[in-house]
Structure 1
Amino acid sequence: MTIHTTSQIRSPEQSLRPDHWVFPVVLLAVGTFAIGTDSFVLAGILPQLASGLHISEGAAGQVVTAFAITYAIAAPFLSVLTHRVPRKALIAIGLAVFVVMNAAGAFAPTFAVLLVTRVLCALGAASFTPTANAVSTVLAGSAARGRALSITLGGIALGTVFGVPVGTAIGQQLGWQASLLFVAAVGLVALIALSVVLPHLAGEAVVPLRRRFGVMGDPRVVLVVLVTAVATGSGILVYTYIAPIVHTIAGISGGTLAIALLIWGVGGAVGAFGCGWFTDRIGAGPTSALGIAVLAAALAVIAFAGSPVVVLIAMFFGGVGSWAFVAPNNHMLTGLHPTMASVVISFNSTGTYVGQAAGAAVGGVLLVSGLGATPTVLIAVAGLVVAAILALAAWRATRVRG
Structure 2
Amino acid sequence: MIARLWPFVMGSVALGLDAYVIAGLLPAIATSLGSTEATVGLGVAAFTGSYAITGPVLAGRAGRTSRRSLVNALAVFTLANLATMLAPSVAVFLVARAVAGAAAGVYSPLSSAVAAGLVGGEQRGRALSLVLSGLAVGTVFGVPLGLAVAGRWGWRAAIALVVATSAASLGGVLLRGGELPPIPASGALQRLRAVTRPDNLVTVLVTLLTGIASLGLYTYLTVILGHSSLADHQTIAIWVWGLGGAIGALGIGRLVDKGNPLRLSLMLLTGLACALAGVALGRAPVVLLGSLFVWGLCGWASLAPQQHVLLSANPTDGATAVAANASANYLGSALGATLGSLLVAHSVSPQGLGLTAASVACAAVVLQLIRTGMRPRK
Change (3 A) 1:113 1:378: same
Paired residue type of 1:383: V
Tell me which of 37, 58, 73 is aligned to 2:17: 37
Name the CA distance, whole Å, in 2 between partners of 1:91 and 1:67: 18
**Do the aligned partners of residues 198 and 396 (structure 1) sit closer, same or farther apart at CA in structure 2, a change above 3 Å counting?**
farther
Q: What secondary structure sits across from 1:221 in the alignment?
A: helix
- Rounded Cα–Cα distance in structure 1 between residues aligned with 2:177 and 2:115: 10
Q: Which residue of 2 aligns with 1:191?
A: 170
Q: TM-score, normalised by structure 2?
A: 0.95
Distance 1:339 1:23, change over 3 A: farther
Partner of 2:289: 312
Deviation, structure 1 residue 206: 6.0
Contact 1:233–1:357, Cα closer than 8 Å, also in 2: yes
Which whole-Å CA distance do the structure 1 matches of 2:156 and 2:352 have between them?
40
Deviations 1:27-56 (A, max 9, x none): 211111011101011111111111111111
Aligned residues of 2:63 and 2:110 also touching (Cα < 8 A): no
**Aligned twin of 2:260:** 283
What is the rounded CA distance, in whole Å, between the counterparts of 1:187 and 1:270 in structure 2? 23
Give the Cα separation in 1 of the matches to 2:93 and 2:177. Answer: 32
CA contact (8 A) 1:67 1:119 kept: yes
Report if aligned partners of 1:80, 1:213 keep a CA contact under 8 Å in 2.
no
Q: Within 2, Cα distance between the matches of 1:212 and 1:174?
A: 45
Q: Distance in 2 between matches of 1:204 and 1:313?
A: 40
Runs of 4+ residues over 6 Å off in structure 1: none
Q: CA deviation at 1:64?
A: 1.2
Q: CA deviation at 1:108?
A: 1.2
**1:49 maps to 2:26:** no
1:137-286 pair list within 5 angstroms: 137-197=116-176, 199-201=178-180, 203-205=182-184, 207-248=186-227, 250-254=228-232, 256-286=233-263
Say which one has the larger Rg: 1
Matches within 5 A, 1:124-139: 124-139=103-118
Give the unaligned 5+ runs of structure 1: 1-20
Aligned: 1:401 with 2:359: no
Aligned residue for 1:339, secondary structure, equals coil
2:39 aligns with: 59
> How far did 1:198 drift?
5.8
Code of the residue aligned with 1:70 in structure 2: it is S
CA RMSD, Structure 1 to Structure 2 (Å): 1.7
Distance in 1 of aligned mates of 2:220 and 2:138: 20
- Match in the other structure for 1:14: none
In the TM superposition, residue 298 of structure 1 has moved relative to its aligned partner by 1.4
For the Cα contact (< 8 Å) 2:63–2:69, is it kept in 1? no
| Gap regions ≥5 residues in structure 2 | none
Question: What is the Cα deviation at residue 237 of structure 1?
Answer: 3.9
- Which residue of structure 2 lines up, in the alignment, with residue 120 of structure 1? 99
Separation of aligned partners in 1, 2:348 and 2:103: 40
Match for residue 331 of structure 1? 308
What's 1:347 paired with?
A: 324
The farther-off stretch of 305-314 and 61-70 is 305-314
Given candidates 77, 96, 101, the residue that maps to 2:57 is: 77
Are the counterparts in 1 of residues 245 and 300 from structure 2 also a CA contact under 8 Å? yes
Aligned to 1:159, what secondary structure does the other structure show?
helix
8 Å Cα contact 1:303-1:377 kept in structure 2: yes
SS at match of 2:179: coil
| Paired positions, count | 378
Instruction: Identify the residue that residue 4 of structure 1 maps to in structure 2.
Output: none
In structure 2, what is the equivalent of residue 17 of structure 1?
none
Aligned 8 A contact 2:272 2:294 in 1: yes
Report the Cα distance in structure 2 between the residues aligned to 1:299 and 1:32, rounded to whole angstroms: 26
What is the CA–CA distance in structure 2 between the aligned matches of 1:198 and 1:295, rounded to whole Å? Answer: 41
Amino acid at match of 2:38: G
Residue type at the aligned position of 2:29 = L
Answer whether contact 2:77 2:166 (CA < 8 A) is retained.
Answer: yes
Match of 2:71 among 47, 72, 92: 92
Percent identical among aligned pairs is 33
Other structure's SS at 2:316 match: helix
After TM superposition, give the deviation of residue 230 of structure 1 in Å.
Answer: 0.8
Q: SS at the partner of 1:361? A: helix
